[in-house]
Chain A
Amino acid sequence: MSTTSTASASGARGVARRGGSAPDTGTTPRRRRIRWQPAWLFMAPSLTIIAVFIAYPIVESFRYSLYDWRVGADSQEWLGLGNYTELFGDERFWNALRVTVIFAVASVALQLLLGYAAAAALQRDGWFNRVVRSAFFFPTVVALAVIGLVWRFLLDPQIGLVSGLIERFGGDPVQWLQDPALALPTVIFVSVWKNVGFTMIILLAALKGVPAQLYEAARLDGASGWRLTRHVTLPSIRPALLFATMIMTINSLQVFDLVYVMTNGGPLFATDTLVTMMFREGFENFRIGYASAIAWVLFALILLLSALQLKLFRYRDVD
């Protein structure tokens, strides 16, 4: 079933590409006159909600970042860019930035690699493949808080299954989450473990959309193995790679729940990401202005990386 609908979707896309531009150009002025109004009506509910509950609070948080903001105080102390200059002189911030970048790069790279491998291996539609796909996807369904909890127990040096097995085979328990050198790799592992199913599914969809003729033509030219992947598969699934990479990058730069449950940023700030630092400053140290400044620096970072990714993947709209 999935094969047929994929084929029809990609076929439809092909039609749009070929036939899209010709009628459009002639009718554009007429369209513009009569159509801008319905567009706003269609967007009204979403834009209202976004404006009220997302955009306005975001702008508000920028205002906080210019003050030494105390929630509910009658007057606030104006700092201008003071929070930002303090931030750039704060070693914790640079540490959190380093941790966040390492986390994001490593987890995105591993997720792409393993997700692609799994998708390629499970491409065919047998019942067995489908069961394995579901199993790989299952961790994605589960709340991060639950996953953090379960892995924290599994990796516990005393009661965890992992240590139990290592000890049974004569090893010493490993301090997965207690050793500053191991804590970050461990958290990255769990994050990849959870999210690799999502990447797999997205890439699987894309792989199924690659027309068989492309492969046949390339084989006739003598391409096989890696060359086939490099010159046919990867270019064909570039849009899906872009979507997956962008979403994963945005999400992993904002990683919070998993770290909060597993290590709360410790030991010795080894897993302290920008958002856990922000959370600590805002809700434990009550420095809302400072926390907001961290959020805005993170926003700038994500915006920059997203723009870079768009450039890297040479993103072009069909529309």
Chain B
Amino acid sequence: MRATRAALLAIGTAAAVTLAACGGSDDDGGSGEAAGPVALTLWTGFTGGDRAAYEELIATFNETHDDIQVTMEVQPWDTIAQTLPSAWGTGQGPDLATPNFDPNVIGRYLETDSLLALDAVGDGEDQINVDQLAPAAVEAFTVDGELYAVPANVATLQLYYNKALFAAAGVDAPPATVDDFRAVAQQLTGDGVYGLSLAERETIQMWPILQWLDGGDIVGDDNCSVLDSPENIESLTTWAQLVQDGVAPVGLTGAESDALFSAGQAAMQLNGPWAAPGYTDAGIDLGVAPVPTGVDGDVTLASTVPLAVSANTDHPEEAQEFLAWWTGVDAQKQFALASGFPPVRTDLADDPELAANDVVSAFAAALPSGRLYLQGVPNATEVDAEGYVPLIGEITRGEDVAGAAAAATERIDAITGCQS
């Protein structure tokens, strides 16, 4: 029962011969021959409803570029997480990929030198115009002064509200400040309706916004948890109390939280542009408002998906040309109109076509106040899964906030390696 590499190759060739009749695919892995256009492979995790908009974008690129043809292979995010590290780590795999929906993952791939540092930067025709891209994303993708990815998309969260429920309760406008927010949520609660639909796990993060609104945060600049600071404990206590009072549900996933709002059983929800079509389909009389102003001004959650180039690609120039086009004015306008996502560029704010689109303009308006979740925190995925999400789960189920926050702080500090 031992396998040497030679044996492995031997049975490999034997089997390849016998199975040749089955017809293997002619996968060339993007190796560059001079003949014909350059073929680039792109792996993305854009499944579901938004996929069509990305596919149209790729089609447009291929139509307008005779010399470069991009093939997008869409697969679930967890499949990418299982295969891309090995693929890129062993010097193979796609030329381009969105390695994860979490921008913090960039650091993981840098540990194995898998990412190409993008140098085609500037305001020229085929260059990536960094100055015009969403600053939060650029900051997240820049490590030691080098840019390693561009935003494949940028989204912000806004306040969805159910106009019918608001009217029935006699509330005529969405809340404008965080205090209003809590008051309105309480006012709308009752008769089987929650004031606010909240999700704790497997979701786009909603709880960090609540903390930011109260001037709180999760991890500080020194990578140490600040959850046990007095203002954070006060904020967490306030919101956890609302949950226990039945103003918001306990323990939902993102999908369950969406279902609650779709069923007309919640008056408000913090969510991204992707949710709008589903809510309209479900027959909700939908309003989208800015997130209420917090004690330190406007703030909301921004999320961005990194689009990166393999360090081992044979076509670094063409790959970067593609990134430049993807983040360019025409592509972003097309994408925003098709998907409802705000453009990744800040210079499209005044575009009349985009301004006329309610969803796009609402979410684009929040871009300047958008903050990324756990940005730049070491091992952010673990901080989320082992520290923050369990904390929210505990305090909404009645555990003592100060104690739970102290325990979460200890855990998070161990994960980030904070020296306090």
Contacts and interface: CB of A to CB of B under 8 A. Distances in A.
Contacts of A269: 390
Contacts of A283: 78, 81-82
A156 B88 contact: no
Interface string B384-408: 0110011001100100000000000
A52 interface: yes
B8 A52 contact: yes
Interface stretch (A1-9, A70-78, A214-222): A70-78
Interface string A149-162: 00000001111000
A267 interface: yes
B118 to A, nearest CB: 20
B11 A268 contact: no
B311 to A, nearest CB: 10
Contacts of A156: 256, 259
Contacts of B111: 70, 73
B201 interface: yes
Contact of B250 (A50, A70, A175, A280): A175
B202 interface: yes
B11 A48 contact: yes
A270 B90 CA distance: 37
A51 interface: yes
Interface string A90-124: 00100000000000000000000000000000000
A301 to B, nearest CB: 23
Contact of B85 (A71, A179, A280): A71
B86 A71 contact: yes
Interface in B57-89: 78, 81-82, 85-86, 88-89
B403 to A, nearest CB: 15
Interface in A36-75: 47-48, 50-52, 55-56, 70-73
Interface residues of A, number: 30
B202 A158 contact: no
Interface string B364-397: 0000000000000001011001100110011001
**B contact face: mostly helix, strand, loop, or mixed:** helix
A175 B81 CA distance: 31
Contact of A284 (B3, B381, B397): B381
Given A73-B111, A178-B256, A264-B202, A51 B394 contact: no
Given A72-B89, A175-B250, A56 B3 contact: yes
Interface in B176-202: 200-202
Contacts of B201: 264, 266-267
Contacts of A51: 1-3, 7
A120 B112 CA distance: 59
Nearest to A44: B11
A158 B256 CA distance: 8
Interface string A263-286: 010111100000000001001111
Nearest to B105: A286
B256 A52 contact: no
A39 B214 CA distance: 74
B251 interface: yes
A239 interface: no
Given A156-B259, A158-B259, A283-B78, A267 B393 contact: yes
Contact of A280 (B1, B7, B265, B385): B385
A285 B397 CA distance: 27
Interface in B84-138: 85-86, 88-91, 108, 111-112, 114
Interface of A: 47-48, 50-52, 55-56, 70-73, 92, 156-159, 175, 178-180, 264, 266-269, 280, 283-286
Interface of B: 1-3, 7-8, 11, 78, 81-82, 85-86, 88-91, 108, 111-112, 114, 200-202, 249-253, 256, 259-260, 262-263, 265, 379, 381-382, 385-386, 389-390, 393-394, 397
13 contacts: A51-B2, A52-B3, A52-B11, A56-B8, A70-B112, A72-B89, A72-B90, A92-B386, A178-B251, A178-B256, A180-B397, A267-B201, A268-B390
